[in-house]
Structure 1
Amino acid sequence: MKTMSLIVPCYNEEPTIEIFYNTVEKVFSDHPDEFKDIHHEYMFINDGSSDGTLAEFRKLNAAHPDIVHYVSFSRNFGKESGLAAGLQHAKGDYIAVMDVDLQDPPELLPKMLTTLESGDYDCVGTMREDRKGEPVIRSFFSRSFYSVINHISKVQIIPNARDYRLMTRQMVDAILAMPEYNRFSKGIFNWVGFRTTYLKFENAPRSAGETHWSFWQLFNYSIEGIVDFSDVPLKIATFIGGLFAFLAVVGIIIVIIRKLMFGNSVGGWASMVTLMMFIGGIQLFCLGIIGNYIGKIYLETKHRPLYIVQEEK
Structure 2
Amino acid sequence: MSIQSFDGLPTVSVNFKNFDKELFDQFHALLLKHDNFAYDDEYFNNFCTAFGEDGLSFITAVEEKTKIPMGFIIGTYWKNSSNAKVLLTIGNFYIMPEYRGKGLGSFLFNHLIKEAVDQKVSLYLTANPKMTETYSTKYNFSLFREYKAEILKAKWSDFGNIPKISLPSYTVCESSKFTQWKKFEQFDLKLSNGVVNRLEYFKTLFKASIYSGIATNNNGEVVGCVSMRCANKVVAIGPLYAENKDLLQLLLNVALEHIDASQHDFIRLNTFTCNRDLKELLSLYTGGKFNIIWTCNLQFAGSIIPSNDKYLHSADDLAQNFM
Range class of TM-score, shorter chain: under 0.3
Higher percent of residues as helix: 1
* Structure number with bigger Rg: 1
Higher percent of residues as strand: 2
TM-score by length of 1: 0.25
TM-score by length of 2: 0.24
